[in-house]
Structure 1
């Protein structure tokens, strides 16, 4: 009996201490949660009763070198509903369908959806948003937002690019500089009760958005307009497929203008700029949109034709395999291995110096230069000139040069490469490479980005770009500029000459693949002043109808552009010895 009592007493004591331990642990845990973890659980409880709506940040502007706004923002609204706060769903549905011009079924599905907050429509014009607010619909929220707006519609569309519905860049400079242009979204925080209803007495807490940075680019709005007008004019006159123009400073790589007509409306980037077929499939429309957005100056390659003779000349002069007074003979063709390769003048140019050969754009002369150089040396200069690597332009999607492998360059390939056929480059690669050959031998990176400024106008970053010196010697560069000045003043580029201005350049006419289609590309590359180049321009006309020669079709367009651009850039007329003598004679009369 005594043993049983002791046993029961032991059980009671054990149970007492067990309960005490459990209560102590519970109290300790409770104290830990209430004291040590109070902030953590307080925030969780607050978050449970907080509703968050974002305030879109204004995207930074894009401005040209003179501060003209090329990409801006317009105030719009985002309309949403909070299901738990709607008192009269039928009225809300009817009013929103009317004001937003949406099908009633679409609005009904979103209004009746049980969620904390449901977006009805975004990018709503501010006037419409204000009208919705005036109706005082319970459960309907109208929040401020921004939509990208391009004041000049289609100007430089394939350079500037556009943004998507979330205001993020999709193509062009908008995507390349997205990190700088994007701001930081703000927030609107409201408190709700257990039923998800907002507590008006708690009010709203706002975290203001941060506006994105402004991007200043090297483009000049006026020069871009000049170039686009000239390109559109020749495209209509020659019924061409496309026309591209680049205008750049060869000394530092700043691009003044880059044109690809037909352009498209940046404010309606998903509307085709051509009349589509009525039965167009969605995939076919997307293909057409992708083609419409392409920037041919950097995304597409082509056979440059005779403009490439500038590069062949520079390599030959640098290697010392030719001088300006070397003699050549052109019977209208040159036989290389088993091929008879024609000159554009089938009757031949006869006896000529090298200076006359480049003025005449004589194929046999340049075939001879290629053969004198040889594949090994020629390829070496391709690498030295930077022709085999991308330019590094600050636009997405730059294409690379398509060139034969060195080991696959035979005599025939060497001959055709020498006058710009059987390989492909981009227009921007041609302009960049030639710039390094005429500016004294420094290869620059072509670019648009100059600097970014914050909302207060303070410069946050000034962009810098690599330069590679020693592309060619200054002597070769000077000789090349002089030769190309003769091409414009006396040779195939005479239609680009402007009285009183010293202009260098080269014409080109190349045939597209397949050759059986008999389609051509007419182009002209020019620069001024010839003795100290400050601007370089290239025009490429794809598939002009009728007369298609570069000297006849493309050179006059560059002349028209330069007639506007040179005085605008402050490039004066060249004072020659003859002009000085005429002025002296006029003064003595």
Structure 2
């Protein structure tokens, strides 16, 4: 009996100790949770009962040089459904199907999906959102946000670019400066009960979005509009594939206009700008067509520049002093280089001529001789010195590089053809930028569109600066190049670009695309004014014109017509020079 009492006593002690230990553990755990981890579990509880909806930030505007807004925002709505709050799903499905113009099965799938919040459609017109709100449907949320809007439609479409459904930039300036333009989204925070039903609006918290910064650019919509009209006119008249026009300030690299027709509608960027039957195409093929439509040929594509490149050969020859204005040449209509006969544009030949006259005539044999005098080593030296082997650094995405022979593979024939602008390819922006440095006194500029970043209140956040390189060529060489190119317009192949009262410099070009047997041409003209102190440079490129295709005949008049309007607009005064009927220029 004693033994049994002792035995039970020990059991009771063991059980008691175990209970005390468990209780101590529970108390300790409770103290830990309530005293040391309370903040953590409070946040967890909040998250469990907190529902979050994003509010898009107003994207910064893109504002041109004249103060016009080229990219803005319009108020739109996002329609969402909270499954736990929907009381009449069939009515919700019917209303949203009708008002949003969506497929009923798609709407049903989204409405019946068990989730905390399901987005039905974004970028809904505000009028539609207001109508849906009036139905007062339980569980349907209509939140206002912003959609990108472009007041001028297709104007400068391949420069400005556009945004996607999430309001992020996709191409052009929109993607290049996205970090400045995008802003910071806001949030709507609401509390729910244990069943997931939102409490009244008094428990709603709102974190307001921060609008993006505005982008101030050098492009002028008035100049862009006129240049775009001129490009469309010549494209229609010559039944050309496409036309590009570039206008920039050769002194600082600011771009006034960059036209690539046909352009596309920025407010509907996923619709092709040409009537193409896409019914039998794969998604990849359709996307390839869109990508091609969005390309900016002024910097994304390369081409053979033809005789406009003679400006570079001329500058290198003058700088290296292997040629002067008075040097004499003879053109029989061709030049034999090794085993190759390379023809002049005038197959009958120009006969005896000095270098100035050879430039006025755009004589291939003259420039072949200059190139051969320079030699491969010097030619490559000036390619590097002029910046042709590097990107221009323009503030737009996707710039292509120069396609040139490797130095080790460049023989006399290749050197001869490169000298007058064939057998290699560069971008239009590279040509315009390089020529700018050769006529502005020898300063290599960086072409650009953005000038400054500005807050929505109008305060300047950042003035943008761009790299320049000095002494690309001497001032003496630059002055001589300007003199020669003025004579090309006043007395030579560029006479169709002449404007009375202004001194215009320039160079014509007509090149063939590959294969040569296809007889497809690229006609172009590069001009600048005033010739003695260039303030604007223009480049017009016409791809595959029908009928007459010479650059001096069809491209030079385009730049002349643009300059006739743009020079007074930019307050560039006349110089007092007039042209005699015989083509010579004199002061009055």
Is the structural similarity TM-score above 0.5? yes
> Are 1:162 and 2:162 matched, yes or no?
yes
CA contact (8 A) 1:82 1:116 kept: yes
Structure 1 residues 69 and 385, CA gap change in structure 2 (3 angstroms): same
In structure 1, C-alpha distance between the alignment counterparts of 2:93 and 2:244, rounded to whole Å:
50
More deviation in 489-498 or 110-119? Answer: 110-119
The count of corresponding residues between Structure 1 and Structure 2 is 583
| Equivalent residues of 1:190, 1:202 under 8 A apart | no
1:51 aligns with 2:51: yes
Q: Is the 8 A contact 1:314 1:477 kept in 2?
A: yes
Please state how far the C-alpha of 1:201 moved relative to its aligned partner. Answer: 6.4
Q: How does 1:273-292 map to 2 (within 5 A)?
A: 273-277=273-277, 279-281=279-281, 282-292=283-293
Partner of 2:193: 193
Q: Structure 1 residues 80, 582: closer, same or farther in 2, change over 3 A?
A: closer
Equivalent residue number for residue 220 of structure 1: 220
Check the 8 A contact 1:390/1:400 in 2, yes or no: yes
Q: Name which of structure 1's ranges 15-24 and 177-186 shifts more when overlaid on structure 2.
A: 15-24
Partner of 2:308: 307
1:28 Cα shift? 2.0
Cα deviations by residue, 1:366-414 (Å, 9 ceiling, x for unpaired): 0000100000000000000000011111111100000001111100000
Q: Deviation at 1:110?
A: 1.6
Alignment of 1:370 with 2:371, yes or no, is: yes
Deviation at 1:340, TM superposition (A): 0.6
Partner of 2:404: 403
User: Secondary structure of the residue that 1:341 maps to in structure 2?
Assistant: strand
Q: CA deviation at 1:338?
A: 0.3
Whether the 8 Å CA contact 2:278–2:286 is kept in 1: the answer is no
For structure 2, the residue ranges without an aligned partner over 5 or more in a row are none
* Cα distance between partner residues in 1 of 2:261 and 2:407: 36
- The SS at the match of 1:467 is coil
Q: Which moved more, 1:122-131 or 1:487-496?
A: 122-131
Indicate whether 1:83 and 2:83 are aligned: yes
Measured in 1, the distance between the counterparts of 2:160 and 2:305 equals 26
Q: Is residue 2:61 matched to residue 1:61? A: yes
Q: How far off its partner does 1:24 sit?
A: 2.2
SS at 2:403 equivalent: coil
What's the secondary structure of 1:551's corresponding residue? helix
| Aligned-partner Cα distance in 1 for 2:386–2:214 | 35
Whether the 8 Å CA contact 2:172–2:396 is kept in 1: the answer is: yes
Secondary structure (helix, strand or coil) at the match of 1:468 reads coil
Q: Is the 8 A contact 2:577 2:587 kept in 1?
A: no
Flag the 1:213–1:314 CA change in 2: closer, same or farther, 3 A: same
Separation (CA, whole Å) in 2 of partners of 1:576 and 1:554 = 23
Counting only pairs closer than 5 Å after superposition, residues 61-460 of structure 1 correspond to structure 2 as 61-200=61-200, 202-277=202-277, 279-281=279-281, 282-460=283-461
CA distance in 1, matches of 2:474, 2:9: 108
Over residues 255-303 of structure 1, what are the superposed CA-to-partner deviations in whole Å (9 max), with x where a residue is unaligned? 0000000001011101111111264413322221111111000000000
- Measure how far apart 1:2 and its partner are: 7.4
What does residue range 488-503 of structure 1 map to in structure 2 within 5 Å? 488-503=489-504
User: How far 1:3 moved relative to its partner?
Assistant: 7.9
Matches of 1:25 and 1:383 in 2, distance apart? Answer: 78
- CA-CA distance at 1:43 after TM superposition: 1.1
Deviations 1:418-441 (A, max 9, x none): 000000000000000000111111
- Equivalent position SS for 1:444: coil
Matched residue SS, 2:532: coil
TM-score (structure 2 length as normaliser): 0.96
Q: What CA distance in whole angstroms lies between the structure 2 residues aligned with 1:7 and 1:339? A: 120
The alpha carbon displacement at 1:16 in A equals 3.7
| 1:100 Cα deviation after fit | 1.7
- Between the aligned partners of 2:470 and 2:360, the Cα distance in structure 1 is 28
